[in-house]
Chains A and B, each alone.
Chain A
Amino acid sequence: MSAPNDRLELFVALSAALTGVKAFRLRGTGQAEAYLAAVEAIVPWPIIDDLFSQFAALPAGDALEPALESGILADPRLGAVARNLILLWYRGAWSQLPPAWRASFGSSAGDTNHVISSAAYQAGLQWEIAGAHPVGARQQGYGSWALLPAGEDTP
């Protein structure tokens, strides 16, 4: 496997740990590459590298979650970025990092509240988790918004 793929896989694995959604499902949104590209365009690379290497060093299994909390989420530099990743996957949108973080670790021009793309908006995990259709982006057909989303056939 080539190096860029390793980086993408690490990003997906980190995202799975943070979101609580399996890597398979995350890749299934089709947005993994786009989200990694967005993060790399906004967050300084040394911080991303540290986030990835810190995550790669965490223990697996039951020990992962507490280690994720203490090693990454509680870290003043990495924690805000990690929390933003959760929002990114659930909403398909980037949220501006907190003012205190920007003051301490730098701000980039791309660090604004913005939707990654119309496809990312529809792919946001929030819809599937809530058993709802993406608001305003339902598939065609009169009254189709009243149908249960795929996989929600048996309430």
Chain B
Amino acid sequence: MASPDITSIEVLRSQLAKAIQLEHATIPPYLTALYSIRPGANTDATQILRVIVVEEMLHLTISANLLNAIGGKPDLTVKGFVPSYPATLPDGETDFTVGVGPLSPETLKAFLKIERPAMAPAGKSRHVVRKSDDHSTHLCTLPEDATLRYYSIGEFYAAIRDAIVYLDQQAKAKGETIFTGDPKRQVTSEYYYSGGGKLWPIVDPASAAKAIDLVIQQGEGKTQAIFGDSGEIAHYYRFLQLDKNRYYQQGDSPENPTGPALTTDWSAVWPIATNLKLAALPAGSELYDAAVAFNSAYRQFLALLTRAYNGEPQVLLDAVPRMFEFRNLIQQLICNPLPGGNGNAAPTYEI
């Protein structure tokens, strides 16, 4: 199928760079919500968030593999890579924002929207016109026109999938291929700590389509099924368990989970500020220094990932444990009160 949005390999590369940015953009909100839980409380929510964060790292790596496969160079250190939160995401005709804040019923709603993107109704354009009327980072934009956005995250990925097929067919007609990347730059399962072998080298349209499908399905579920082929529950349903106070088990309908009960104590969460910025912290204060220290550690983490995605895959083995080491630095912020009694501090992710 022709992809009217993505007409050249250069544009495809730039859209895949946006996919890497998109997959990463979920990590700060999820990680912050995870560590906003008070020590020892909400073990179910903690476990659910932890698993999802690890899999978002997997999706990030898959996006990097896709870009590497077509001769691109992932760079997680470019200016603006980390959104200025709240970031804006499309959800059909309307947008929604995802921010950095405490675990709450409201943040859970945003997380559910991230994980279950709507597809444009049949016959409707997959684009939505938006005026950029604020300074927040808009994700899922069209190539070279930030006032146009995809209908949803699902449509954003569908356009990439179509473009890969289309551009590779065009290349093949000339006896070429778009899969010109060095296979050594592919990050495969031996470099990633996770349950199963879920990373494979992307070398052709079939392995690329499989990768995109995994990212979409692990989020929203395979054709909206609760459990995937490997018996693994989709992120959307993992989160929905927190809303329905019950786990899903095989055979359940989406409306009615029948597994063990679980409870979330929304009050057992540190009262952290939402979308805090460094500018709100008194310069030279302990809070300010701790926020700067965290941002610096996070910048190093992104530099580490960039190395892993540029020919040093073994570096990724350190990256996931390192991400969870942020707990101590984040806790310094979320357990300490802001001046003026406005709740507690939080990481600002101003990289």
B325 touches A28 (CB 8 A): no
Q: Pick the contact of A149 from B39, B54, B325, B333 — CB < 8 Å?
A: B325
B286 touches A24 (CB 8 A): yes
Q: Chain B residues with Cβ under 8 A from A32's Cβ?
A: 335
Q: Pick the contact of B332 from A25, A34, A117, A119 — CB < 8 Å?
A: A25
Shortest distance from the beta carbon of B176 to any chain A beta carbon, whole Å: 40
Taken residue by residue from 87 to 101, chain B's Cβ proximity to chain A (1 for < 8 Å, 0 otherwise) reads as 000000000000000
B317 touches A119 (CB 8 A): no
A140 touches B39 (CB 8 A): no
Whether, in the assembled complex, B336 has its beta carbon less than 8 Å from a beta carbon of chain A, the answer is yes
B336 touches A119 (CB 8 A): no
- How many A residues, CB 8 Å from partner? 29
Q: Which of A9-54 contact B (CB under 8 A)?
A: 22, 24-25, 27-32, 34
A139 touches B39 (CB 8 A): no
Q: Chain B residues with Cβ under 8 A from A29's Cβ?
A: 331, 335
Q: Pick the contact of A143 from B297, B317, B328, B332 — CB < 8 Å?
A: B317
A141 touches B321 (CB 8 A): yes
Q: Interface size class for chain B?
A: 20 to 34
Cα–Cα distance between A32 and B344 once the two chains are bound (Å): 14
Cα–Cα distance between A144 and B319 once the two chains are bound (Å): 10
Whether, in the assembled complex, B45 has its beta carbon less than 8 Å from a beta carbon of chain A, the answer is no
| A contact face: mostly helix, strand, loop, or mixed | loop
Q: Pick the contact of A24 from B290, B317, B326 — CB < 8 Å?
A: B290
Q: Chain A residues with Cβ under 8 A from B318's Cβ?
A: 144, 147
Whether, in the assembled complex, A82 has its beta carbon less than 8 Å from a beta carbon of chain B, the answer is no
Shortest distance from the beta carbon of A155 to any chain B beta carbon, whole Å: 15
| B contact face: mostly helix, strand, loop, or mixed | helix
Q: Chain A residues with Cβ under 8 A from B286's Cβ?
A: 22, 24
Whether, in the assembled complex, A113 has its beta carbon less than 8 Å from a beta carbon of chain B, the answer is no
A144 touches B321 (CB 8 A): yes
Whether, in the assembled complex, B200 has its beta carbon less than 8 Å from a beta carbon of chain A, the answer is no
Once A24-B290, A120-B39, A140-B193 are accepted as A-B contacts, the answer to whether A30 and B321 lie under 8 Å apart by CB is no
Q: Chain A residues with Cβ under 8 A from B299's Cβ?
A: none
Taken residue by residue from 311 to 335, chain B's Cβ proximity to chain A (1 for < 8 Å, 0 otherwise) reads as 0000001101110111011011111
Whether, in the assembled complex, A88 has its beta carbon less than 8 Å from a beta carbon of chain B, the answer is no
* Known interface pairs A22-B286, A30-B38, A31-B39; 17 further A-B residue pairs with C-beta atoms within 8 A, sorted by A's residue number: A28-B331, A28-B333, A30-B39, A34-B40, A119-B39, A120-B39, A139-B321, A139-B325, A140-B54, A140-B321, A141-B193, A141-B320, A142-B317, A147-B318, A147-B322, A150-B297, A150-B326
What are 6 sample pairs from A and B whose C-beta atoms fall under 8 A apart? A28-B332, A30-B38, A30-B270, A119-B40, A147-B322, A150-B325
